[in-house]
Each structure stands twice: as C-alpha cells, then as structure tokens.
Structure 1
Amino acid sequence: MPSNAITCTLENRLCRLTLNRPEKLNALNVAMFEDMAAHLDRLDYSAVGCLVLSGAGRSFCAGHDLDDLAAGDESGRAERIENGFVERLATLPFPVIASVRGHCYTGGLELVLAADIIIATETARFADTHAKFDLVPIWGLTQRLPRRIGMSKAREMMFAARSYSGLDAMAMGLVNFAVPEAALEAETDALCADILANSARSNREIKKLLDQTDGLSLAAGNAWELHHSPGHGPEFSVLIRARRAAGAG
C-alpha cells in the first residue's frame, strides 16, 4: 500500500496526484516514485478526464532527496523506477496539468516537464541544479527542457544552475501562465473545468496525435494526422443537435 507521502483522489473525472512531504519541501525519494506508480496502477483511466500534479505545503518540490541519492543503489533499480515513472507520467492518455508554487528544482522540474500544461505562481522558483552537485540528468531533462523552451535557454538553465521566477518561466515558455499566489488553486481548477467540459475522447486522441508526430516534419506530421485521426466521435451528432436547439447556430 502507498504511504501518505503521496495522495491521490478522483472526483468528477478530475484526478489529483499530490506530493505530500511538505516538511521536506516534497523532496523526492524512490519510495515516493513507487507510491505514485502504485496509485496509477489502481486508477481507472477510463474515468479520468484530467490529472493535476501538485505539491502540498509551500513548495512543489525541492528536487531529489540528497540523502536518498547519497545512499546509492549499485543495481540501478532506483534509476529504472524513477525514470520509468516520469516516462509513464509523460505518456498518460489524458491531459496532465502541473500546478506549481514555491520551489520546483531539478527532479521537481523533470516531473513538471512531463506534464502537458504547467501553471505556476508568479513567485515560484524554477531551477536545474544537477551541475551544482556533479550530477547528470537521467529522467529526461536534456530532452524535454529544450523542447519546451528552446536549446539556448535550456543550456543556460542547465549550465549556470540559476533559478528563475514564475514570471521568468512564463516569459521563456517553461510555464503556460503565472498567477498570483492566492489564485493558483482557482486558476488550476478553472483550467481543469474547461478541459473537462470538452470531449474526453477528443482530448485523448489529440494528445495521441501530438505524441506520435513529435519530431516529424510538417509534411510527415500532416500525413500521419490525415491517416490516423479517428475524426468524428459518437457524441458529435448529439452535440451538434443540442447546440442548434440552444440557438447557437
């Protein structure tokens, strides 16, 4: 059974997966990754329209727990568990939203880069500190960060290990938007409500097409979409009739 270091709830098709180790600023260890995986194992994916990843307390995640990291694991088991979960998070079939306040450092940054959309407070702090501790990423940072913000800015973040505010992160395209501290939960809920108001089938198929064509040329991507898009869903006609009946045209 998962410990209380991770909580997971599902209500009205909204899943909330929360890092719940606030006394350690939600610093990550292997057990937390195992707990997150166990929660996803028990989750009924067909009942989920959107997942929110967040951290309890004043910080999203201060990074990998350095005590846990220093303990070492010569077998490589920890690395496989951690990397495997980040990849699993990135490939969930439904939209994933990361909601960030406070620290979002290194391992925490790698987690949020696996989300589809990132919302942060204006005062959140983002950083990659691998180089400060003679570490090299293994959870996909060198691949996902340049794709999110561009190669030159990613090199700056990784080489200099500087921290950036939520507003800085929005300007560089790391987060979709930054909001005042007091508005984070409301803005996150509003975005999730907009997503959940739409077709879950459409969102899943759109995400699948985005993932399948990532890295393709425009021509190749267009061809893939043409031949692999499922097009109309079973609710299309019903929704059109309802719209017309409501006088929306």
Structure 2
Amino acid sequence: MAVRTSDTVALRFTDGVAVVTLNRPERLNAVVPALVDDLLARLAEVAGSDAGAVVLTGAGRAFCAGYDLKEPPAGGDSRRRIERLQQVTRRIRELPQPVIAAVHGYAIGAGAEFALGCDLVLAAEDAQFAFPEAGLGLSVTGGISRLLPLLVGPLKAKELLLLGERVDAAEAARLGLVNAVVPDARETALRWARAIAQKPAYAVTLAKRALDAGIDSALDAALELEVAHALITDTAAEVAESAERFRTRRAE
C-alpha cells in the first residue's frame, strides 16, 4: 500500500484502488483553495497510475461541508479561483478510472458537487446533502446546473437549489441522487471499486466514456455559465455580509 499525504488531501493505493481522502476533519473537510489545489494534484497522480478504480471520501465526521465560510475572503483573481474549482469536476470526469463517492455526514454545497460529479455515489445512513448557495447569495458550481437536473429532473432540481433544504440519505436514494444507502459507505465503495478494478481497464474506460458522452457534451457549457454567475455573486454585498455573520457566529 502506497500512501501520499498533503495538508488537505490524502492518497493511498490498495488492491488496485486509489483512495482519495479530503483531509481537513477539524473543519469537516470544508473547501479552501489549498484543498482544491491538493485534490487536483492527487487526481492527476491517479490518472497516471495503474489503479483500476477510485474512491473519493472524507476524513472524520463528514464528506465535505462546503465552502469554509470561517476563512477570510479569498483574495487574488476570482476567475482563476472559480475556474480552478470547476476543474475538479472536469478532472474527475476525465479520469479513465470510474470514481465512486463514499459520502458520510455532510455533503453540502461544494461537497455535494464533488460527490455528484463522480460516476457512482454511495451514501452512509447519516449522509445529508444540500445546496445552500442561493441562501448565501452564491451560485452553484461543479457542473451541478447540468448534472442535478439529469439526476432528479428539472423541477426537483430547482426545488433543491431554490429552497436549499437538506436531503437525508433515504430521500437522496428515492430521488436518484445516490446509487445506494449502506451502513458503511467507505467499505462498500472499496468493495465496489475492487470489483471494478478486476475488470479489463480498457473496457471499463470505454463504458464510462460511452455513458458520459451525451452528458459531457453539454457539461462544459454549464461549467462556463457557472463561472460567469459565480463572478457576479462573488462581489455581491450580501455574500460578504452572510460570510461575516457565519465567521462571527458563536459555535453551537
């Protein structure tokens, strides 16, 4: 078993499977620019490896709790930062190996987007999904404007985005957000990944490419539109105000 660890993302190889772990458990794996950079770097390593499948999961009590609003506002080039985030979805979908999201605890905002960008999604019984962006004055990213309606239908997708209510694991399965609800998402994801890794790699890649061909032909346009929308919301006063309230809110 080979292990690579950065400050925010860990990578290990075992039984022909690459396990990529978001590794900010003290912050429920909330997204900061360093995590995005590390995740892209680890996925690039996976692409060049002989792993037959990939598991994406989170350390600690959650998969990923979304953007870390307790961090100071990111400076620098907003377009570059947003496009860097969009690249996570692109890289996951460009990998020759299928990627299985093993979701436990929170998969909120960007966390839900990471999960739904994967090829398969397994949810632990305590998993919760939500898209709170509209309530925070933000816009969705990660290609979710294209992927979510495909999974749940356009009307339900609008409900999830506009109301921002949390969806538990059982409801996520009923809606088609996840493949299955299981007691241990990581263990089941590893079992599924090992089974996939035992199949001829070229056949697995071709199956993934064939199924994604129709979806991804429109995904790039969705990702670009999301960047345009995110740039608009990035400078909105309401975003700064809601983030400041969150940063100064007394911990429960």
Query: Could you say whether these structures have the same fold, taking a TM-score greater than 0.5 normalized by the shorter chain as the test?
Result: yes
User: 1:123 maps to which residue?
Assistant: 126
Partner residue of 1:136?
A: 139
Q: 1:143 to 1:214 in 2, by over 3 A?
A: closer
For 1:163 and 1:98, locate their aligned partners in 2 and report how far apart those are by CA, in whole Å.
18
Root-mean-square deviation (CA), in Å? 2.0
TM-score normalised per structure 1: 0.80
Letter in 2 for 1:18: T
Report the AA paired with residue 116 of structure 1. Answer: D
**Structure 1 partner of 2:151:** 148
In structure 1, what is the equivalent of residue 59 of structure 2? 56
- Structure 1: where are the runs of 5+ without partners? 217-249
SS in 1 for 2:202: helix
**Where does residue 169 of structure 1 map in the other structure?**
172
Q: 1:48 to 1:34 in 2, by over 3 A?
A: same
Kindly provide the amino acid, as one letter, of the partner of residue 171 in structure 2: D
Verify the 8 A CA contact 1:14 1:48 in the aligned structure 2.
Answer: yes
Structure number, greater radius of gyration: 1
Matched residue SS, 2:73 = helix
* Among candidates 23, 44, 61, match of residue 20 of structure 1: 23
Q: Which of 107, 111, 123 is the equivalent residue of 1:104?
A: 107
| Equivalent residues of 1:2, 1:38 under 8 A apart | no
* Residue equivalent to 1:77: 80
Equivalent position SS for 2:89: helix
| SS of match in other structure, 2:121 | strand
Q: The residue matched to 1:66 in structure 2 has which SS? A: coil
- CA 1:49–1:69: 2 relative to 1, 3 Å: farther
Kept in 2, the 8 Å contact 1:2–1:35? The answer is no
C-alpha separation between the residues in 2 aligned to 1:114 and 1:215? 11
SS of residue in 2 equivalent to 1:76: helix
Amino acid at match of 1:209: A
1:10 partner amino acid: F
Q: Which runs of 5+ in 2 are unaligned?
A: 218-252
Alpha-carbon shift at residue 84 of structure 1 (Å): 1.3
**In 1, are the aligned partners of 2:52 and 2:198 still within 8 Å (CA)?**
no
The C-alpha deviation readout for 1:135-156, integer Å capped at 9, x for no partner, is 0123211111111221111111
Q: Secondary structure at the match of 1:34?
A: helix
Could you report, residue by residue, the CA deviation over 1:56-89 in whole angstroms, capped at 9, with x for unpaired residues?
Answer: 0010010011144733444422112111122111
User: Does residue 1:41 correspond to 2:44, yes or no?
Assistant: yes
Residues 142, 2 of structure 1: CA spacing in aligned structure 2 closer, same or farther, 3 A cutoff? Answer: same
Task: State whether structure 2 residue 200 is matched by structure 1 residue 199.
Answer: yes
The letter of the residue matching 1:170 is: A
Count residues with an aligned counterpart. 214
1:11 alignment counterpart: 14
Runs of 4+ in 1 over 4 A off after TM superposition: none
Quick one: distance in 2 between partners of 1:2 and 1:197? Answer: 26
Q: Is 1:66 the equivalent of 2:69?
A: yes
1: CA distance between counterparts of 2:72 and 2:84?
Answer: 13
**Mapped partners of 2:72, 2:117: distance in 1:** 21
Q: Which residue of 1 aligns with 2:209?
A: 208
Q: Which moved more, 1:104-113 or 1:66-75?
A: 66-75
TM-score, length basis structure 2 = 0.79
